[in-house]
Chain A
């Protein structure tokens, strides 16, 4: 019963709630996005073909891009009310993003990259925390390797490690599986879902990868 109660409790708080969002690059390229809600520990899939503004939406949800209209609430924080350094710090601390291509600081090894992740977000740096996360993602043996020495799959895992490092409220993933084979695809998805669940974070995946449709029920289609 307590588990059930906890679940219901989470259900009532929407970890992320985006409403009435629109964004225009110019007069001819204008996106009006559907409203998006996702509770903690849950996953939400945003699917659409290329050019429908998937990455644009992801960046708006991640506080990287300001929408022309609409609001993005993460927990009880309104992103549109944050600016400049405050927004940078909030993003670093509360939003973890997994990019399609995992970009790391090439001069630093994985451990140092993750230390930097903590430092940039203003979180206390802890080597043991990092090693724990790396261990749970089964890449702890690559902690002292430079990013260029890691395989694509390992980089994707390191990327997940970076996204969850600061125990964010929201994990955003941009095409995390498009470069992977079926087996890895499912593995990475479970990795993201499990981690999000453990952290109590909401997981929003933006993709055109049809394989994920069968694995996540909550879907929003962009057109």
Chain B
């Protein structure tokens, strides 16, 4: 009959009170764990998809929308830009630009976006071919691993695209040439896993039904692309040679003021986004802390009340040789055990919950979330919860240790 068994028996002797306390603790801890999981994975995702891109150039509109559509492939593009106008930023000879990658958006297959771009795009995300090869001819496509896994596409598959980003059969292009899968990429953990890649002229061919573009030789680099000044692309992803240099820092503002193009800094825009949605996350975090504070208070009240019922029991334990330390540690252990059970339940709920939420989030964020990852912050959470359990039990434990046998039993 050691303290642990005694504590456990004491707790389950009041099952409803135990249940309430454990549930309250689990809610607080679970909510924080869920926030940690979502925030960390989302941040990792945003960081990975940033791919060291310093600037995005596209059509006038919302800079955040342009960043979301061109880098994270959520939200719609702001529109198209004329290659003639964007030519300076496509030029490999540009003194300040290290990389510039054109993107043509607008089509999708099932829920996956088709991107007209150059093979440099694959390098940008450090992706590698897992099967097949990169696109060489018009209508060749390379698909990300997530596309390969969840759609019916494999090497050699042919398909028609849909206009727009909704999987809508009415919007399917009836083109005489179909897309043909020639390669599948290794999973990279970034957004490229969820994309279908092809050349820019393939996108033009799908949209222009006079077949004039059919004769264009397949475009695989910027030099080639720059020849078609009257054609459109959606955005250009740009890496500077030196992102900290004065010309690089001034370039977005110069573009926005002097041209009809829109230039945006992804880091700045994403930080703005964090600041906006961060308020919601912050509110949830406060809510979680309030829940934990309430559960600590509830543990305190339960133990405090149970001491009143148990004052004779405690006095008898003292008579039987139980020292003050023994009674103190027994009550502390009760608080600790409630906190431990609540924390474990909370973590299980949060991770199982994350597992179910993950599926829905994948569609919205173009990223696979998982409930099976544990983060270091959760270890701190467990530690913090234990400390709160002990603190909640501290005053009742001191009261228990102060039990005076004579005065308790003598009335």
**Pairwise interchain contact B323-A97, C-beta atoms closer than 8 A:** no
Instruction: Specify which of B13, B319, B323 is in contact with A62 (CB 8 Å cutoff).
Output: B319
From A56, A85, A90, A104, contact of B410 by CB (8 A): A56
Instruction: Say yes or no for B317: interface residue by CB 8 A criterion.
Output: yes
Q: Which residues of A contact B6 (CB under 8 A)?
A: 105, 107-108, 116
Chain A 96-119 per-residue mask, 1 if CB under 8 angstroms from chain B, else 0: 010101011111100010011111
Flag the segment in B259-267, B296-304, B308-316 that touches A: B308-316
A40 CB-CB contact with B under 8 Å: no
B13:A97 contact, CB within 8 angstroms: no
Q: In the complex, are the beta carbons of A106 and B313 less than 8 A apart?
A: yes
In the assembled complex, A179 has its CB within 8 A of some CB on chain B: no
- Of listed B6, B10, B12, B316, residue having the most chain A CB within 10 A: B316
On chain A, the residues within 8 Å of B310 by CB distance are: 106
Task: Kindly provide the distance from the CB of B219 to the nearest chain A CB, expressed in whole angstroms.
Answer: 79
Q: Is the CB of A91 within 8 A of B321?
A: yes
Query: How many chain-B residues does the 8 Å CB contact rule pick out?
Result: 26
B313 near A88 (CB under 8 angstroms)?
no
CB closest residue in chain A, given B7? A107
- List B residues 109-129 near A (Cβ within 8 Å): none
B265-311 at interface with A (beta carbon < 8 Å): 310
Contact residues in A for B326 (Cβ distance below 8 Å): 120
Docked pose: A112 CA to B325 CA in angstroms: 21
Q: Is B231 an interface residue (CB 8 A)?
A: no
Say yes or no: is A89 at the interface (Cβ < 8 Å to chain B). Answer: yes
Q: Name the A residues within 8 Å of B406 (CB-CB).
A: 56, 59, 64-65
In the complex the two chains form, is B313's CB within 8 Å of A92's CB?
Answer: no
> How far, in whole Å, are A210 and B320 apart by their CA atoms in the complex?
29
Q: Does A219 contact B (CB under 8 A)?
A: no
Q: Which residues of A contact B353 (CB under 8 A)?
A: none
B8 CB to closest chain A CB (Å) equals 9
| Any A CB within 8 A of the CB of B173 | no
Which residue of the partner chain, among B2, B317, B410, contacts A55 with CB atoms under 8 Å? B410
Q: In the assembly, what is the distance between CA of A45 and CA of B315, in Å?
A: 25
Q: Would you call B322 an interface residue if the criterion is a C-beta within 8 Å of the partner chain's C-beta atoms?
A: yes
Determine whether the beta carbon of B321 is less than 8 Å from that of A89: yes
Q: Are B320 and A92 in contact (CB under 8 A)?
A: yes
In angstroms, how far is the closest chain B Cβ from the Cβ of A96?
9
Contacts of B315 in A (CB 8 A): 103
* Contact residues in B for A93 (Cβ distance below 8 Å): 321
Given that A103-B313, A107-B9 are known contacts, is A112 also in contact with B321, CB under 8 Å in the complex?
A: no
Residues of A within 8 A of B317 (CB): 105, 116, 120
- Check: B318 CB closer than 8 A to any chain A CB: yes
Q: Which residues of A contact B322 (CB under 8 A)?
A: 88, 92, 120
A62, A106, A107, A162, most chain B CB atoms within 10 A: A107
* Best-surrounded residue of B10, B310, B320 (most CB of chain A within 10 A): B320
Query: Is the CB of A84 closer than 8 A to any CB of chain B?
Result: yes
Instruction: Among B9, B313, B318, point to the contact of A112 (Cβ < 8 A).
Output: B9
Q: Bound state CA distance, A43 and B2, in angstroms?
A: 34
A191 and B256 alpha carbons, distance in the complex (Å): 101
**How many angstroms between the C-alpha atoms of A118 and B320 in the bound complex?**
8
Q: Which residues of A contact B (CB under 8 A)?
A: 55-56, 59, 62, 64-65, 84-85, 88-93, 97, 99, 101, 103-108, 112, 115-122, 125, 162
Q: Could you pull out 23 A-B pairs where Cβ atoms are within 8 angstroms?
A: A56-B410, A59-B405, A59-B406, A64-B406, A64-B409, A85-B325, A88-B318, A88-B321, A89-B323, A92-B322, A101-B312, A103-B313, A103-B316, A103-B409, A105-B6, A105-B10, A105-B316, A107-B6, A107-B12, A108-B6, A115-B1, A119-B2, A125-B1
Task: Pick the 8 closest A-B CB pairs, nearest first.
Answer: A92-B321, A107-B13, A115-B1, A103-B312, A116-B1, A121-B321, A120-B321, A85-B323
Interface residues of chain B, those whose CB is within 8 Å of chain A, are 1-2, 6, 9-10, 12-13, 310, 312-313, 315-326, 405-406, 409-410
